Chain A
């Protein structure tokens, strides 16, 4: 989008930053909401989705065996263990299918939003963060525990656990910038209503001004 002349001359830099979708938020020297940051997250999440779907198909008994080049039959032991049956009862769907939906969510929430969504749609970045970070860590811990509790190891489960942790590392920067911006709004105003509006991405004069100071214009 081209930027037309700002109304007040002293806010030239501010208004430019406010409309510059590639602006760089604190504390980084790159834009964590840029496509080059987000697309790889979506691609890796989709790999997790495909692997989890494959295991879900086995748990749904739509395929007869589960591939495992390292632990042999142990994968099928894990995927049909008591633990997985309990989780099936809680989730109503196989745990691998539940995981597949969570990875798909990582990709969906990673794709949605502009390259300045850390300011324009904080709610979306927060949902994305919840899906990737706490859910990812819990699922990785659960996979490790499944190996210890069930006594069998599942190669593809371990692959998805690694994917979860890689996604956490790749996604934290955007969530961090977004939360830092929200905290800045709160610290500068202590205005609950404003924080609420900013969280939902509504355009307010105060939020816009704070966002403009929070970001530096893109260098390229």
Chain B
């Protein structure tokens, strides 16, 4: 007789993600996995490796590098890619600026977050990618909650939330015209806690900035930002040293740190369970500008 074991929520979420990754690889001509060095894209990469084991990935990883990343994240990225022996494409925002595709913002509020969109779309066109895997989750933000697993983008990279393709029974329509692409979100149904629980279960390594460390920071809009060469401070913004960690990893200019002494995955999990601030609320300066900020950026081709 066959003995079955109980499945956990993580087992089901893992299976769903792998199903989506395999569907995309099978149906889309030229996929790439958008790798940011953040925990969501690390989990996504791990799932992709599992989906095709023992063979390697049938697509490359692509990092849109703002040039304002934390060094720890770039180190992690390069080590991980070497360990996995996979192909990494780096699309650089600095290159886009140097080639006059975009103009760098200046001043204390300058961020390259918006500029990334051009760099990403240029890279998609240059490499003729037809699908980009992303680690976005529906629990992150209200407009994300409406995003499909396979999210169609027109030739301008735009998302039309009113005209999304229905996805009954996880039957995904991956048809494209020339110049179009799809964004594919295998971990759509995961929550931030699921991601941490999975990192713990699978014993995944993360960039060190996810864990408590001492860092020179300053306060802006009630958030702690890192003192970083890419961030210009107002005269009144004094720096001080705090024990902090990051809940998300992005551009140093707009990723907030939180005060924390959680130094291990288990401690981070415990803290996240108890937290009463959402991940985005804690860390993303760029989303606070307007109620519809994320939706507007997504329409225009943002991640």
> Do the two shown chains form a genuine complex with each other?
no
Residues of B within 8 A of A (CB): none
